[in-house]
Amino acid sequence: MRVTIVIPALNEAGNIGRLIEESYAAVPVANLAELIVIDDASDDTTPDEIKALIDSGRFPGLRYLRHDRRSGQSTALRTGVWAATSPIIATMDGDGQNDPRDIPRLLELLGQPGSDGVALVGGIRTNRQDTGSKRWASKAANFIRDSVLKDDCPDTGCGIKVYWREAFLRLPFFTSMHRYLPALFQTYGCKVAYLPVNDRHRQAGVSKYNNLNRALVGIYDLVGVSWLRKRTKVPQIVDQHPAGAPSVKPDVRLHDKTTV
């Protein structure tokens, strides 16, 4: 499968360059259509680090897009997905804690776009390298979210995922939607799967989130996503006339969950 890697970045100097180089080493050139970094208005040397790699000519398909103002991780992801030229998207966080060597493994579980296969494969972080308080907060948040949404996602905060571009673009957009992608994909009739992935220490910079702001925003978003799921209907086309006339491809089954 030809894949576009999309990486949102905010003040990730010291991390983003290394992550780009690792990504090109990990994903076979025959499969990597492009790598797009979306700079969410960084004020450090993140742009210089990326542009130096582009100018080196060693990384074909490496692209840099910059927001005029800070708009958040979900907005950056959406910018990158809109700009992508391939039907398959792989995403990672810009801090380098995700391991790009996991991308080929995730792609093995992904179905062909438009098929009845899995439309999103999400990572489950093993041996997390965050602080104890963040690990505890993440477990609590995942438990609360799954209790409400019933999406069976054990690690919604893991940034490394692969999915169909067209399925993502059909989803309703809101800030923080990146934390609810498995639930949203299921709501729109797509199958999802999960796979254990590596987790690494941040090498430079600081996290852009803390437990308090995640909790406050998470509660607000959880109410909204729960409402969306209840109010969304995705019917299947079971008959058409005349036979063979062009039509919108039916969505796959609703709320179909696959765990690996």
List 96's β-bridge partners, or say none: none
Identify whether 146 is part of a domain.
yes
Question: Tokens 């450090």 label which residue?
Answer: 44
Record the pTM: 0.81
Neighbours of 28 (CB within 10 A): 10
Identify whether 238 is part of a domain.
no
Strands (E), 94-181: 118-125, 161-164
Identify whether 236 is part of a domain.
no
- Give the phi and the psi of residue 217 in degrees, each rounded to 5: -65, -35
Task: Decide if pLDDT at 245 tops 80.
Answer: no
Q: What is the number of structural domains in the chain?
A: 1
Identify whether 169 is part of a domain.
yes
Task: Decide if pLDDT at 134 tops 90.
Answer: no
Closest CA to 8 of 85, 74, 102: 74
Identify whether 102 is part of a domain.
yes
Better-predicted residue by pLDDT, 28 or 259? 28
Identify whether 80 is part of a domain.
yes
For the chain, state the CA radius of gyration: 18
Identify whether 240 is part of a domain.
no
**183 is in which domain, residue-wise?**
3-231
Identify whether 252 is part of a domain.
no
What is the model's pLDDT at position 137?
56
pLDDT digits (tens, 9 = 90+) for 2-53: 999 999 999 999 999 999 999 999 999 999 999 999 999 999 999 999 999 9
Better-predicted residue by pLDDT, 204 or 31? 31
Task: Decide if pLDDT at 112 tops 60.
Answer: yes
Q: What is the CATH number of the domain that holds 87?
A: 3.90.550.10
Spatial contact of 148 and 220, defined as CB atoms under 8 Å apart: no
Spatial contact of 72 and 175, defined as CB atoms under 8 Å apart: yes
Indicate the residue type of 66: R
- CA distance linking residue 190 with residue 186, whole number of Å: 5
Highest mean predicted confidence (pLDDT) among 103-117, 118-132, 222-236: 103-117
Better-predicted residue by pLDDT, 157 or 210? 157
